[in-house]
Amino acid sequence: MSKINKVVLAYSGGLDTSVILKWLQDVYQCEVVTFTADLGQGEEVEPARAKAQAMGIKEIYIDDLREEFARDFVFPMFRANTIYEGEYLLGTSIARPLIAKRLIEIANETGAGAISHGATGKGNDQVRFELGAYALRPDIHVIAPWREWDLTSRETLMAYAEKHGIPVEMKKGKSSPYSMDANLLHISYEGRVLEDPWAEPEEDMWRWTVSPEAAPDKATYLELTYSQGDIVAIDDKAHSPAEVIEKLNKVAGSNGIGRLDIVENRYVGMKSRGCYETPAGTVMMKAHRAIESLTLDREVAHLKDELMPRYASLIYNGYWWSPERLMLQTMIDASQANVNGKVRVKLYKGNVIVVGRSSATDSLFDASIATFEDDGGAYNQKDAEGFIKLNALRMRIAAAKRSKTVK
């Protein structure tokens, strides 16, 4: 392998990536370009610039990717009603292909032959970052420090940081911060007490949501306007994709909505316990299914539901840039042409309750046929008899054959 002269590092300014920055300088003796993304994590990203500069970095990228993230990654995913293993809304997974894309773009701009990330050798993120990077630039060299160095715990990372004068932000005076990831869609927590699947998370761990018990006693109502499967307005006020998520995070979080505590199956083979806050996503999932229930053909809706687990696994496992995901996305997006209208939801103590849905242009609901009152001849109930007998025919034949055999 030829000598690496320059590497682009996905840099947050936190413990892991600050240690990695110093480690890359020491071990690879190469120039490091830092890339810090504002994905709506709710924290200032500019301090990362000062930290990088203090460590001698000359090429520093700090990009506001909130709108691109919401528009080109989160919204397309929610058009499919995507959920992994029945519960997880893929808040971490969906951010990784965008980071991989930007790492490769910066490598191309700066002439770097390598990229580096802070994902561990035990996790999914290493797979997601690297599959995306290779899909976008086959000749890129990837440096994954967690697969190379001997810093095997958060304690050893902190000792390394102290030795090299790297500042570490402690969480409320405890011995080790949670392993956290945040973006516009969610925040995740791993480590510490969460490594015991039986232990209840500490209440002060949660950052975006109040507990359902502490949520207001009065419900909050919202009207969400959809255009081709995407929310474009809240209470008749137009919002960009990122603004939609920001608004829903605030309102839903204040009503105790969006907490999740799961043990999930990682792609690398192990089970992992994690906690997540996804307030906006929890509302978006429920509301999107509601508008689809009114506007989608039954078989189109059912086909989407059948394909969704495969689509979710592709995203979870890091195959966003794969041809099969792109193929599924084309179908999913085509299904949303008539998903237009409004959904009214009630938010109350951790619950998202759909209380209304309407579409002036694309509703397939026909009250004159569905009514329990006199329909004026719109539907001939006798038609159901032939439908039932035809669908029962195979079972009637089998039952008759069995009956003869018994006799």
Q: Domain of residue 288: give its range.
A: 182-358
Q: C-alpha distances in angstroms, 29 versus 11, 22, 34, 148?
A: 18, 10, 15, 15
In a domain, residue 216? The reply is yes
Q: How many residues does the chain have?
A: 407
Which of 121, 152, 177 is a domain's end point? Answer: 177
**Is 179 annotated in the active site?**
yes
CA 366 to chain centre: 35
In a domain, 1, yes or no: no
Strands 114-116 and 60-64: unpaired
Query: Is residue 84 assigned to a domain?
Result: no
pLDDT tens per residue, range 260-292: 999 999 999 999 999 999 999 999 999 999 999
Q: How buried is 333 (Cβ within 10 angstroms: 0-12 exposed, 13-18 middle, 19+ buried)?
A: middle
Q: Which candidate in 66, 79, 96, 273 is catalytic? A: 96
Closest by CA position to 6, among listed 109, 101, 100, 136: 109
Out of 16, 38, 181, 230, pick the active-site residue.
16
Structure-token match 């506001």, residue found = 64
Q: Residues near 256 by Cβ (< 8 Å), separated by ≥ 6?
A: 209, 210, 211, 212, 213, 214, 215, 349, 350
Q: Which of 66, 102, 125, 154 is catalytic?
A: 125
pLDDT, one tens digit per residue, over 225-264 is 999 999 999 999 999 999 999 999 999 999 999 999 999 9
pLDDT, one tens digit per residue, over 29-69 is: 999 999 999 999 988 888 899 999 999 999 999 999 999 99
Q: What is the largest CA-CA distance in the chain?
A: 91
- Identify whether 63 is part of a domain: yes
Which of 146, 177, 208 is the endpoint of a domain?
A: 177
Phi and psi angles of residue 157, each rounded to the nearest 5 degrees, phi first:
-60, -45
User: Which pLDDT value is given to residue 175?
Assistant: 46
Residues 246 and 275 in one domain: yes
Residue 186 and residue 266 in one domain: yes
DSSP label at residue 218:
S
User: For this structure, is 181 an active site residue?
Assistant: no
Active site residue 333: no
Please indicate, yes or no, if residue 78 is contained in any of the structural domains: no
What is the per-residue pLDDT for 177?
Answer: 60
Q: Are residues 195 and 330 in the same domain?
A: yes
**Residues with pLDDT less than 50, the chain:** 171-176
CATH code where residue 290 lies: 3.90.1260.10
- Please tell me the total count of domains within the chain: 3
pLDDT at 69: 98
12, 116, 179, 188: the active-site residue: 179
Distance in angstroms (rounded) separating the CA atoms of residues 86 and 228? 25
Q: What does the alpha-carbon distance between residue 234 and residue 225 come to, in Å, rounded to a whole number?
A: 6
Same domain, 160 and 53: yes
Handedness of CA 297, 300, 306, 308 (dihedral sign): negative
Q: Is 102 in the active site?
A: no
What is the reported pLDDT for 171?
46
Q: What is the pLDDT of residue 179?
A: 81
Cβ-proximal residues to 154 (8 Å cutoff; 6+ apart), any chain = 15, 176, 177, 179, 191
